[in-house]
Each structure stands twice: as C-alpha cells, then as structure tokens.
Amino acid sequence: MATENQHIKELVKRRYEPGFFTDIESDTIAPGLSEDVVRFISEKKNEPGWMTEWRLKAFALWQNMPTPKWAHVHYPEIDFQAISYYSAPKSGAKYESWDEVDPKLIETYDKLGVPLHERARLAGVAVDAVFDSVSVGTTFRKELAEAGVIFCSMSEAIQDHPELVRKYLGSVVPQGDNFYAALNSAVFSDGSFVLIPKGVRCPMELSTYFRINELNTGQFERTLIIAEEDSHVSYLEGCTAPMRDENQLHAAVVELVALDRAQIKYSTVQNWYPGDEHGKGGIYNFVTKRGDCRGERSKISWTQVETGSAVTWKYPSCILRGDHSSGEFYSVALTHNFQQADTGTKMVHLGKNTRSHIISKGISAGRGQNAYRGLVQVNKKADNARNFTQCDSLLIGDRCGAHTFPYIEAKNATAQIEHEASTSKISDDQLFYCLQRGISEEDAVSMIVDGFCKEVFKELPMEFAVEAKKLLEVSLEGAVG
C-alpha cells in the first residue's frame, strides 16, 4: 500500500495536449441571459419566427426551474449571468469553400488531429467542426448528398429543412425536460443535423468535433439525428477546450430518433479540459442525450469514453418504445485529480420484447469522484423486457471515490432484470506479477486499465478506439506507479 501511494505521487504530471488557445477575432456578446439575448441569438442566426418562439418558451420554462442538486457532484453555484451565450469567429460562419476558412481555424483542427482540408481528411469520416458557438464547416458533403444523407449544421438545417426540424426538434428532449436542457433550448447556437433516409446505410462515419475557444463563453450545441426506416448510421463526437483557470459551462442536447428497424450508433470521446491537478478550472459538462427507439426492431447504441471535464453530469438514454427495440450503453468514465463524474443511462422499456444492455466502467484516481447512476424501468405493457447491467469500478489510490446508484423499477411480471456491480483496485499482486515478467509499472497499469475497459473499447469505431486508449493513458499519467 505504502509503496503504491509513493509511486502515485512520484509519477509525472499529466499533460493536457489540446489545452492551447487559438488567437482569432471573435464576435462575442456581453455576458448575461435575458429574453433579449435569446432574441439576439435567434436574430443573429436569421431564424424564422417559430424558432424564436420555441426558444422563448424554453427560456420561460428555464426561469422557473431550480438547478438540479441530486447528482453526486459538488461545485460552486454557477452564475448564469456571468456567461456569454454567443461567440463566433469574426470572419463569418459560412464558407463557400475550404479555402475561405480562416487558416487559423484549419490549423486549430489540424493540431487537434482533425484535418478538415480535403487533401488531409480522415478517410471514411465526414466531420462537422464546431468552433465555440458555430459550425465552421462540414466535410464530404457532396458524397453524402449523393447517398441522400443530410449532414449539416443545425443552423443550416433550420434554414434549409425547416419542416424536418419542426417535426423532430424537442420531440425526444422537450424544452422543459430538465434545467440544462431548457437552457440549451433557449440559447443553443449550433450543432449537427443528420437525416438518413429510408433504407440507406450511411456510406461513412459521421462526426462532429466540438471546440470551446473563447473565455467566459458557454457552449450550447444541439444535435439531432433521425434515422428513417431500415437505415443505419454511426456517429462520432469529440470535444476539447483550452486550459483556463476559470470553469466553463457546456450544456448540450443530443436527440436521436430511430424509426422502424433503423440503427443508430453514437460514440463520444469526451476530452474537455478537466482542470489542473489542484482542481482549478475545467469544463462543467452538463449534457442531456436521449435516443428514442420509436420504431419496431430499432436499435440505439451509446458508447462513451469520458476522460475530460471538471464535472460531468450526463445520462445518454434510450426510450424503448417500439416492440423488439433495443438499447445499449457502453461507458468508460475516468476521473483523476479533482474531477467528478455522475454519469450513466436510463433504459425505459415501453414496447414488448425490448432489450437493454448496460456496461459501465468507472475509473477513479487521485481525488476523483466517479458515480454511475442508472435507471432501468420496465413499464406495465413492456412484456418480456430484458435487461442486463454490469457496472464495475476500479480505484487507483486511496483518496478517490467510486459510487453506484442504480434504480430498478419493474412493473411487469415477465421482466427479467439482472444487475451486477463490483469494485476493485489494481492489486499489488497484479502489479508484482507484471513487474516480475519485466513490464514497467506504468505499462502494467495501463494494461490492467485497458483490460478493465476492453468490453467498452471494442464498441468504438477503430480510429476512436485507438484514440480512446491513448487518451486514457495520458489521463492516468501521474495516477499510479
């Protein structure tokens, strides 16, 4: 024990590689939130009247909602009037061609490993790059259009496909769903919009890369993915922010709709700035993600690797409405230093013969606090529902915490629900075994952690799995020895 603690302290300080700031001129409105700010954002984006009304309704709801306090996280009260709710690179948000995009922006994404320029693009992955509040560009648009797939920024979708946006926006996460969803509905700036038409298997992975750059801004993006009957899509999301001493708020909403036999796979590698080793700075990541398996035999699968943010509050969920629909949740959440995470999922079984599968791996190091919170609800008419949940925690060091709060509600006698949880640490025996075979302590730890997370990593698309593994290694630097 003692030697282990010693090593923990000795190991190198972790580095947050994406922690740089891009010096670019921005249009940023003064901090503060009011009906006028909501109108300003809507106007700035040249939105139709119904959209402005929709935002205002959300704002009215938000004003009467208390901030949620039930999560197992602690942070100072957020002053919502001290945040700026809109920031965009000054050079304009829409570009006719990539050549017009400010080279500094392209460079930023290059540095983040997300090349946007045609010659360097990631093969087989179409990217929508969101910088602070706006989308700076989407790659592979032509190729996708040929397949009938709509992949554009939310702002464009509101202009170009208003009927689709009106039909689906808020249909999974209504404006008044919760405090942060209401805030997002009022002030969301941009995000991605995807529609996969009937019978289409999306020819490539779609992805959005979120970047917070400006100081004192909040990021509120909104993503909507609709998979029509018999369609199929895999979507990736990545995010980073500069290192700053102040906390910054990120409150996103993601809505997924899967119609009959459609499949949506949504993967996230979340690497927002986590704050420094003293717990200073970092992103507050308060996100509402929900998928609606509206059609029969539809399937929604969430995979997340959460290594960033100072405080994470997110529960990617599935409403299993269609008969025979299924939902999956695979999660790795790592908290180090003073990071806190309260994350998990909700599986709401409404249709008959619905299935859900939950694998959650929490890793706590340093003084990190990691909580799994999950709901499995089998409703009265959901005959033959099945759920399997496994949540495992790994503790590294004796000052961190690992918590499990599963809620299981069964109202149907044909339900079969199994929940298992375990807590373990990297044992001295395991470490010694590796050392004795000539493996360094650091390698041994990452090997053991990697093994612990294997079930989740294998759900990630290949390129992401590699990135996720690396990210975990970097995030754990200084945690063990």
Partner 1 sequence: MSLIEALLSTAPDATAGWWQPSREAHRVIVERHGLPDRRQENWKYTALRPIEGHRYQAPEQGVLQPEDLAELLDANGVPQLTGSRITFVNGHYAPALSHVDDVAGLKVRALSQLGDAEAASASAELATEFSRPDEGFAALNTLLASDGVLLEFSGTTHADGQDMATAPVVELLFVDVPGATPAATAVRNIIKIGPGASLSLLERYVSAGEGVALINSLSQVELEAKSRLSHVRLPLLGEERSLISRLDVRLGEGSDYRCFGLDLSGTLVRHDLNVAMVGRDAQASLNGVYAPRGKTHIDNHVAVDHRVPDAVSSQAFKGVLSERSRGVFNGKVVVQEGADGTDASQSNANLLLSPDAEIDTKPELEIYADDVKCAHGTTVGALSGDQLFYLTARGIPEVEARRMLTTGFCREVLEGIPVESVRDHAISLLTDHLQDIQA
Binding site for partner 1 (CB under 8 A): 1, 70, 72, 378, 380, 393, 395-425
Q: How far is the CB of 5 from partner 1 (least distance, A)?
A: 10
Q: How far is the CB of 112 from partner 1 (least distance, A)?
A: 34
Please, which residue, 142 or 380, has the CB nearer to partner 1? 380
Please, which residue, 61 or 71, has the CB nearer to partner 1? 71
Q: How far is the CB of 399 from partner 1 (least distance, A)?
A: 7
Do residues 289 and 177 make contact, with C-beta atoms less than 8 angstroms apart?
no
Query: CA angle at residue 407 from 403 to 408, to 5 degrees?
Result: 140
Please, which residue, 198 or 399, has the CB nearer to partner 1? 399
Strands (E), 218-262: 222-227, 232-240, 247-250, 253-258
Provide the residue type at 311 as one letter.
V
State the number of CA atoms in the 13 A half-sphere of 44 facing the CB.
22
The pairing of strands 134-138 and 125-131 is antiparallel
Please, which residue, 268 or 364, has the CB nearer to partner 1? 364
Q: How far is the CB of 71 from partner 1 (least distance, A)?
A: 11
Four-point Cα dihedral 253, 257, 262, 268, nearest 10: 0
Beta partners for residue 444, in sequence order = none
Q: How far is the CB of 425 from partner 1 (least distance, A)?
A: 4
The pairing of strands 26-28 and 87-89 is antiparallel
Please, which residue, 6 or 424, has the CB nearer to partner 1? 424
Please, which residue, 3 or 46, has the CB nearer to partner 1? 3
Kindly tell me the sign of the dihedral angle through the C-alpha atoms of 290, 296, 297, 298: negative
Q: How far is the CB of 162 from partner 1 (least distance, A)?
A: 40
Question: What is d(CA 106, CA 112) in angstroms, rounded to the nearest whole number?
Answer: 10
Rg of the chain, C-alpha, whole Å: 22
Q: How far is the CB of 423 from partner 1 (least distance, A)?
A: 4
Provide the residue type at 297 as one letter.
R
Please, which residue, 3 or 416, has the CB nearer to partner 1? 416
Ordered alpha helix ranges (H), 219-375: none
Please, which residue, 295 or 327, has the CB nearer to partner 1? 327
Dig out the tokens for 132 from the structure: 């602070």
Q: How far is the CB of 398 from partner 1 (least distance, A)?
A: 5
Question: What is d(CA 103, CA 239) in angstroms, rounded to the nearest whole number?
Answer: 20
Provide the residue type at 171 as one letter.
S
